[in-house]
A and B are shown apart, each in its own frame.
Chain A
Amino acid sequence: EAQVTQNPRYLITVTGKKLTVTCSQNMNHEYMSWYRQDPGLGLRQIYYSMNVEVTDKGDVPEGYKVSRKEKRNFPLILESPSPNQTSLYFCASSFYRVSGEQYFGPGTRLTVT
């Protein structure tokens, strides 16, 4: 089954404790991205990757890191989480960067206390 998987689905952590949210897709997509979803703000892009070893900032990259060592995986790293990073996070992948369907993962709800 074609899908994007994320882990964990739920995470409660404390300020400053490094964490990683994993993302994996099995559709051989070149383009992957991370979004955060906040009430009233919709989906805002954090980082994206156009291919292996190629990553770039989205609209809200501060406080996040990503890596793309393999085509299928695109982990999101929070080196020192803060409460303002409490949000719902989605990983997405697609064949094209723009003008094409994006496939979203099920989401990771992160709470930073």
Chain B
Amino acid sequence: GENVEQHPSTLSVQEGDSAVIKCTYSDSASNYFPWYKQELGKGPQLIIDIRSNVGEKKDQRIAVTLNKTAKHFSLHITETQPEDSAVYFCAASDNNNDMRFGAGTRLTVKP
């Protein structure tokens, strides 16, 4: 089955800097790759997703890139702000299997 690895487990950046979180997956059939943000005391919330027919997707300060050949995808946050501090999860799924999540990255943005 699918296995998703996520790095780093913790990330600390200065406000205004960029943050990058990377994930790799094992199942070449996976075709949907969402990213979830979990704020303290809340459930995860989708922030951006990408499908296998595109290589990059942007939404304001957030972007996701996908390399299907290498089976990895990354979340890029530019101009980080303190409110970006949270735990971020990547996930992968294909049309037949349920979603598998990475272990999570705790991002801290220092003012």
Contacts and interface: CB of A to CB of B under 8 A. Distances in A.
Q: Is A bound to B?
A: yes
Chain B interface helix/strand/loop/mixed: loop
B34, B89, B101 — most chain A CB neighbours (10 Å): B101
A98 B32 contact: yes
Nearest to B44: A104
A85 interface: no
A2 interface: no
Contacts, number: 57
Interface in B84-111: 89, 93-99, 101-104
Interface string A86-113: 0000101000011111101111000000
A92 to B, nearest CB: 8
B42 interface: yes
Contacts of A35: 101
Contacts of B32: 98-100
Interface residues of A, number: 23
B34, B94, B98, B104 — most chain A CB neighbours (10 Å): B98
Interface stretch (B14-22, B45-53, B56-64, B68-76): B45-53
Interface of B: 4, 6, 9, 31-32, 34, 36, 41-46, 49, 51, 89, 93-99, 101-104
Interface of A: 4, 33, 35, 40-45, 48, 58, 90, 92, 97-102, 104-107
